[in-house]
Structure 1
Amino acid sequence: MENNLERLQKVIAQSGIASRRKAEQLILEGKVKVNGKVITTLGTKVSKEDRIEVNGIPVEKEQPVYYVMYKPRGVISSVKDDRNRKTVIDLFGEEVTERIFPIGRLDYDTSGLLLLTNDGEFANLIMHPKYKIDKVYIAKVKGIPTKQDLSLLKKGVRSGKDFLKAVHVKLKGINRKSNTAILEITLHEGKNRHIRRMMDELGFPVLKLKRERYGFLDLKGLNPGEYRPLNPKEVKQLRHLAIKNVK
């Protein structure tokens, strides 16, 4: 019987209601019931026969789905927004009925590749910085960084309580007339406004930012606001990439 039990937060995440981290928060806040009883202990295990409710809504496991989207600027990387701004979920058609959510986030003014799913375990695997999946950005900045500046980005800079660093940085082009530069920046983690804050600390404010690649995935064939489902091979490759990197 023990082999048929799964952690409560994992079951909630697999239902598409929330990521595993959010599911843990919901449990701690007393918003989850199992067979009518409020559960506040992380690690509680449940079976397929148990009746689970989150905020009074029964949990039903959905078939996992996975999408890649070309997020436009001026859209929130969230399921909903308390200021009623357009979210990435608003860009999906009615044919997508699953309760999907973005894996990580791109800032309001940042465009580019965003993954969405209803699979909380997959989201946690792909998003965690320890799995070292390359996230490649193209940034247009004010000013022209030197080799020393680019080296500092890889060493890391302090911004408030955070230590922000890039894995790779490449100068792609400069325009002395407009005093701007184009950089290719690779991250493994993505803290809030990571690249913008990092560049601000060095005195090169970001004018435009786009995520062009996530692991082996790119935006080929997609226009801003468009999306497509990942095929089973791509999902498998992403899982393999994350697991391989942590070994």
Structure 2
Amino acid sequence: MANILVVDDEMGIRELLSEILSDEGHAIQLAENAQQAREARAAGAPDLVLLDIWMPDTDGVTLLKEWQRDGLLTMPVIMMSGHATIDTAVEATRIGALNFLEKPIALQKLLKAVQAGLTRAQETVRAPAVAPRPVLAAQPEDTAGASFNAPNPAAAIAVRGGATVAGADNHSFSLSFDLPLREARDAFERMYFEHHLGREGGSMTRVAEKTGLERTHLYRKLKQLGVEPGKLAKKAASARD
């Protein structure tokens, strides 16, 4: 699930995009003008922004420039408009917009652009620090850390500044609490899905049932996180042999 900010002064457009993207499993925040968009960005960077160009108070290109100038353009932004010229679209892309969608927006174009934007966001997040991978040795217990709920009482060990969680193949996954929230969340989700895939022998059907996700959403989520079910299935089969 991604956090997506939709900025558009037309209520019908906001509601339509919110409904479509909510059905895809995303959390949607709405803003009807640039000021509300500024407030939403100040509260925390969304994973993706859909930004209308023509708005009554401040147009989308000007807002994009503000974010770029102030170092706030840290998330993918997709521009939208039904009246923009090619020059406007080129300018927005030069400033830092990832893509441009012309209204009325076709469903498949919207979903494709959003998926590309979220993939770009994931790549950017992973670039500075690769999430911790499985480690064999558990670390000493320390009450300064915190533990995750695990399948058995011995599966999670609290450590200073992080936690070690046992996976389905008896390997331990180490997670640092010093990571930014988004990176820590992605690392945990990666561990969570790798655990269930290993436990279910790579069966997407059983993992979808266990995690409560639609298969399409599950495939999309695994691709976002860089988890490869095929490799995990082979690894689980080798462990059984």
TM-score, with length taken from structure 1: 0.28
* Structure richer in helix, relative to its length: 2
Structure in which a larger fraction of residues adopt strand:
1
- Asked which structure has the greater RCO (Cα within 8 Å, sep 6+), the reply is 1
Tell me the TM-score normalised to structure 2 length.
0.29
